[in-house]
Structure 1
């Protein structure tokens, strides 16, 4: 699975909208119920991807003071406003897995656990930008 973000107003030489893709690595859904203390204070863990219009007051996915908050004041609240993201500067929020699924090799010492994602050009360029090929005559 991957999520593609495009700008319909910017077209490449091929006529495609310029964009990029968020490609997840290993990930897992949160086991915390939305009604639990964790679910209420960190509502962002209920989805892997959130997209919001840029707002300088919205800096932290769980809100500014998550440990003192009685409920979420972050992403889960902000998206309820249903603000348009069309032709706006956006923030793409990605939630990496917050639940580690153990394996036998993790006991008694967990040697490694990777959490990752990549942002890749997807229709951003008209050709491979790594090739230094002169234009045809």
Structure 2
């Protein structure tokens, strides 16, 4: 897992007027790494936490990132199984699976009610316009 990165999912068949591919860019917000040992059963069952981003070819049967019954599994189901066949995703309908986490270190000020913690990400367009569309706003 690496920090300070973004992911761009582009369509090689769609170009803007500048000749660049159009894309969507996933920009992470605050995130954390898993502190669970790699050989712990809970981490094996939740294999999706081993990477912040997964990309799979769309499959209507692949709905649960940890598999269908994660509390009863030995691990390896879900996203690790979905990507095990190494399917080509170029020029395919893809599903992005983004994993985010929170590491909360309690403070005395949070007793007895913890304040809100914000987590999330942005999915922004990239290259859809040849210039800023807001520059042509009528007066």
Among 106, 110, 123, the alignment partner of 1:119 is: 123
Q: Please, what TM-score do these two structures have when normalized by structure 2? A: 0.86
Distance 1:55 1:33 in 2: 31
Aligned residue pairs, count? 133
Mapped pair 1:40 → 2:39: no
Q: Greater helix share, 1 or 2?
A: 2
Distance 1:122 1:50 in 2: 20
Cα distance, 1:131 vs structure 2? 4.6
> Which residue of 2 is the match for residue 26 of structure 1?
30
Distance 1:122 1:103 in 2: 38
Among 81, 88, 91, the alignment partner of 1:87 is: 91
Q: Cα RMSD over matched residues?
A: 1.8
Matches within 5 A, 1:52-71: 52-71=56-75
Mapped pair 1:101 → 2:104: yes
Distance 1:71 1:2 in 2: 28
Is the Cα–Cα contact under 8 Å of residues 29 and 47 in structure 1 kept in the other structure? no
Q: Please, what TM-score do these two structures have when normalized by structure 1? A: 0.87
> Which residue of 2 is the match for residue 9 of structure 1?
13
Distance 1:101 1:111 in 2: 11
